[in-house]
Amino acid sequence: MLTNIGAWTVTYGTLVTVGYSESNSGDGDVIYKVYRNGEDKGGGESVVLGAGEYNYSLNTIGGQNYTTASNLDEKTLIINKI
């Protein structure tokens, strides 16, 4: 599941910290990746973005007992003008 320390709608100038949380036992070999507008952000990011809408998605690279999955979770971050 995608996480954000703050809200998914914020005002310009706000630091956002987007990452993920997962609670499945037995998937320690699964690699989770956060993407913003299709760009790989690894395990997430802390960033101040310009006004606009940003699409975040959470994908996995499959492990021994799991397959690769795209778009496990999707959220839209909205940055409003001041």
Q: Sheet of 31-36: strands edge to edge? A: 9-11, 69-80, 52-61, 31-36, 39-40
Domains of the chain: 2-80 (2.60.40)
Confidence of residue 66 (pLDDT cuts 50, 70, 90): low
Q: Which pLDDT score, from 0 to 100, does residue 65 have?
A: 67
Q: Which pLDDT score, from 0 to 100, does residue 77 have?
A: 98
Rg (CA), the chain: 14
Confidence of residue 4 (pLDDT cuts 50, 70, 90): very high
SS3 labels along 10-50: EECCCCEEEEECCCCCCCCCCEEEEEECCEECCCCEEECCC
pLDDT tens-digit readout, 13-30: 999 999 999 877 767 778
Compute, in degrees rounded to 10, the torsion defined by CA atoms 71, 20, 35, 82: 120
Write down the pTM of the prediction.
0.88
